[in-house]
Structure 1
Amino acid sequence: MTVIIKKEPFGKTQDGKEVTRFVFEGGRVTVAVLDFGCAIQSVHAPDNQGRLTDVALGYDQVQGYEKNLPYFGVVVGRVAGRIAGGRFSMDGQDYSLTINNGPNNIHGGVTGFSRRLWQSSIDGNVLKMTYNSPDGEDGFPGDVNVTVTYELSEDGSLTLEYTATSSKPCPINLTNHVYLNLSGHNSDDVFDHVAQITADTYVPVNNDLIPTGELSPVADTAVDLRQPTRLRERELAIRRGDLDVTYCVGQNGTLKLVSRISHPESGRFIDTFTTEPGLQFYTAKYMADAVGKGNKQYQPFASFCLETQHYPDSVNHSNFPNTILRPGETYRQKTIYTFGVE
């Protein structure tokens, strides 16, 4: 089998721009990506009986992605996660960003990268998306050019590679925000999933979900997932929001296996490999007012995200891995999501 990419229309934006859906076909898994928001729109993966099910939450029409308050499937930037107060200082200058999450900036701002139409091209079985973010967009400095490529292997590995350059020093921290439920996107919760995340430490946060600056051991806490753990065993902690946490998963720039999430009943699993130092594991506590594919009302705790990234608010914490991209440098990230069957 050879994976091919097919193009099909996905409607028009409110201002009349045509949106395209790119479908990777021919392998064990079928994936669809939009040029709006650079979004993963669907992932059809087989279970242990060979039955294909869409395991990615999302929308049937582009209008959903234009609003998309949960950030289904999109690439978020310039900075994934929260920046405290929407402010940071760099090289002796203060910057103020758009505020869109309580008192903070999250995922780049009101529009960010996730509600933009990206330019697209196909090279064999690789889909290339680019976006040029102008100086001052959402309050960030510098003209930033971003490229994201998607490649799907025959065996079900979806590889995302990100690069970015900037004309001025600027914080950059990109990720994809796909929501998954391995029993199907329209399932009611994820408590029957089993999670393993290979991290000895994590990033504690305050009541505004801003990092305190500490890096704490996971041992003897509800966020310790070093051994395979059925999420039902952590249901109370999940409902409190404890499993909305950035794990410290290893050295920046080194590709490594950082997690396996599995669904024993269907046999499906997803392995995550990344070059990033952080993995944000989120179990959708704040899901609200999201009617998705097939008119499904998506509920809190009915999906999870595996956001490979640097730590949130890194620009305000000198002890966190650096997120400042300077002229002449190139930001690089590689993440692989492998969908398989046990």
Structure 2
Amino acid sequence: MSFVSLSENDFGILNTKNGERKTIKRFTWTNSQNVSVQVITYGGTITTLKIPDKHKKVEDVVMGFDDLNGYQSDMNAYFGCTVGRVCNRIANGKMTLDGKDYTLATNNGANHLHGGIQGFDKVVWDSYVRGNKVFLTYHSKDMEEGYPGDLIATVSFELTKNNEFLVDYKAVVTKPSPVNLTNHSYFNLAGHGKGSEELYKHQFTVNADRITEVDSTGIPTGNLPPVSGTVFDLRVPKTLGDVINKVPNAKGYDHNFCVTKASSQELAFVAKAHHPPSGRVMEVYSNQPGVQFYTGNFLPETDVSQGKGAVYKKHGAFCFETQIYPDAINHPNFPKVVLYPGEEYHHSTVFKFLIEN
């Protein structure tokens, strides 16, 4: 008999800057195939994702922390969080909307990254439950981190009996504003603490025939070169260890791939990761035009990052961040990123888990 259960408990108490004490809730889904997922209201964060391998051995395959202090520490490299108001980079923290210039918080050298200093990953989301679905909501106020207009964001999470984890984002605004939400989970299908040795054994496929070319700071140039004949051609599976050191001018992959899709609003196959020794497979489907493939290049090179009893180091995990292209606000040839009053932002992503013997 197939089933999915959902439970709720407390993950910790957050003392806010204005003296409030907020209880952080944790939601746990478990299905009849021994797949389980946990999400907390701090940062809208996926903290745990456990799946069995071909021998029925269950491992947690996402990086994270055992307690709230970890998620508030400098060791947290956006592990599992919901990112906004705009994920990825905006050049020099500058943008122009309807003829007016705006300056955003800069937190990545001269650039704005993942919503700024106090992005959606560092706030407490409100929550409610309907059936097996958890809804998290956040009200981002006018000029928070420099963004114009109030924004109401809603993210829903749900585990299905078919081993799919569904993440659905919606948002509305009171003034024109760029909106680009994503989830920043770090995966290693061998297990969250198994490191680069096992990550290099993963085979990756990305459904994209172009990438957004970037400069040395990760900012798009505006060019969309074809992947054919390059290390970015992942249209057929490539073993990471064979290609990661061939990525030009970088420590690995940290690039937006332009997803090949038939329709701008329909779910399309985005990417696949396969870890042959365990048989674990993750497929990603989304209605977004891009996906950031990131191989944990900026995780520490020394044994300093501790999470859930493991050491997290460079190339210890990967991210598939479904998104609109980075810095789209500054590139008219990129997909539309500005949301206007009366419109609704809608972003759907499916993480599907399988076993291949």
Q: Normalized against structure 2, the TM-score is what?
A: 0.93
Pairing 1:245–2:251 present? no
Pairing 1:317–2:324 present? no
For residues 127-171 of structure 1, what are the alpha-carbon distances to aligned partners after superposition, in whole Å with 9 as ceiling and x for unaligned? 110000000100000000000001111121001110000000000
Q: Which moved more, 1:117-126 or 1:20-29?
A: 20-29
Tell me which amino acid in the other structure corresponds to 2:61. V
Cα pair 1:198 1:226 within 8 Å, conserved: yes
Pairing 1:55–2:81 present? no
SS of the equivalent of 1:297 reads strand
Q: In the alignment, what sits opposite 2:157?
A: 150
Task: Find the partner of 2:109 among 99, 102, 109.
Answer: 102
Q: In the alignment, what sits opposite 1:18?
A: 23
Task: Find the partner of 1:136 among 126, 143, 147.
Answer: 143
Pairing 1:174–2:217 present? no
CA distance in 1, matches of 2:252, 2:231: 7
Q: In the alignment, what sits opposite 1:44?
A: 50
Pairing 1:163–2:170 present? yes
Cα pair 1:223 1:242 within 8 Å, conserved: no
For residues 84-136 of structure 1, what are the alpha-carbon distances to aligned partners after superposition, in whole Å with 9 as ceiling and x for unaligned? 00000010000000110000000000111000000011111101100000001
Structure 2: 5+ residue runs without aligned partners?
none
CA distance in 2, matches of 1:238, 1:267: 26
Tell me which amino acid in the other structure corresponds to 2:170. T
Pairing 1:194–2:203 present? yes
Tell me which amino acid in the other structure corresponds to 2:186. Y
CA distance in 2, matches of 1:216, 1:14: 47
CA distance in 2, matches of 1:290, 1:93: 42
Tell me which amino acid in the other structure corresponds to 1:280. Q
CA distance in 2, matches of 1:264, 1:139: 45
Q: In the alignment, what sits opposite 1:231?
A: 240
Alignment of 1:183-332 (within 5 A): 183-189=190-196, 190-237=199-246, 240-249=250-259, 250=261, 251-288=263-300, 289-294=304-309, 296-332=310-346
Cα pair 1:203 1:311 within 8 Å, conserved: yes
Cα pair 1:27 1:153 within 8 Å, conserved: no
Could you tell me how far 1:234 is from its partner in structure 2?
0.8
Cα pair 2:252 2:297 within 8 Å, conserved: no
SS of the equivalent of 1:53 reads strand
Tell me which amino acid in the other structure corresponds to 1:11. G
CA distance in 1, matches of 2:188, 2:235: 21
Could you tell me how far 1:242 is from its partner in structure 2?
4.3
Q: In the alignment, what sits opposite 1:89?
A: 96
CA distance in 1, matches of 2:247, 2:25: 36
Cα pair 1:38 1:114 within 8 Å, conserved: yes
Could you tell me how far 1:27 is from its partner in structure 2?
3.5
CA distance in 2, matches of 1:14, 1:167: 30
Cα pair 1:280 1:309 within 8 Å, conserved: yes
CA distance in 1, matches of 2:135, 2:230: 41
Cα pair 2:220 2:326 within 8 Å, conserved: yes
Q: How many residues align?
A: 341
SS of the equivalent of 1:318 reads coil
For residues 214-236 of structure 1, what are the alpha-carbon distances to aligned partners after superposition, in whole Å with 9 as ceiling and x for unaligned? 11100111111111111111131
Q: In the alignment, what sits opposite 2:134?
A: 127
Cα pair 1:241 1:285 within 8 Å, conserved: yes
Q: In the alignment, what sits opposite 2:347?
A: 333
CA distance in 1, matches of 2:251, 2:331: 23
Cα pair 1:13 1:63 within 8 Å, conserved: no
Cα pair 1:27 1:156 within 8 Å, conserved: no
SS of the equivalent of 1:234 reads helix
Percent identity over the alignment is: 39
CA distance in 2, matches of 1:241, 1:247: 17
CA distance in 1, matches of 2:82, 2:32: 24
Tell me which amino acid in the other structure corresponds to 1:5. L
Q: Which moved more, 1:123-132 or 1:252-261?
A: 252-261
For residues 181-207 of structure 1, what are the alpha-carbon distances to aligned partners after superposition, in whole Å with 9 as ceiling and x for unaligned? 000001111100000111110111001
Pairing 1:4–2:5 present? yes
For residues 264-307 of structure 1, what are the alpha-carbon distances to aligned partners after superposition, in whole Å with 9 as ceiling and x for unaligned? 0000000000000001100000013532111x220010100000
Tell me which amino acid in the other structure corresponds to 2:205. Q
Cα pair 2:31 2:160 within 8 Å, conserved: no
Cα RMSD, aligned residues only = 1.2
Q: Normalized against structure 1, the TM-score is what?
A: 0.97
SS of the equivalent of 2:195 reads coil
Could you tell me how far 1:237 is from its partner in structure 2?
2.6
Tell me which amino acid in the other structure corresponds to 2:4. V
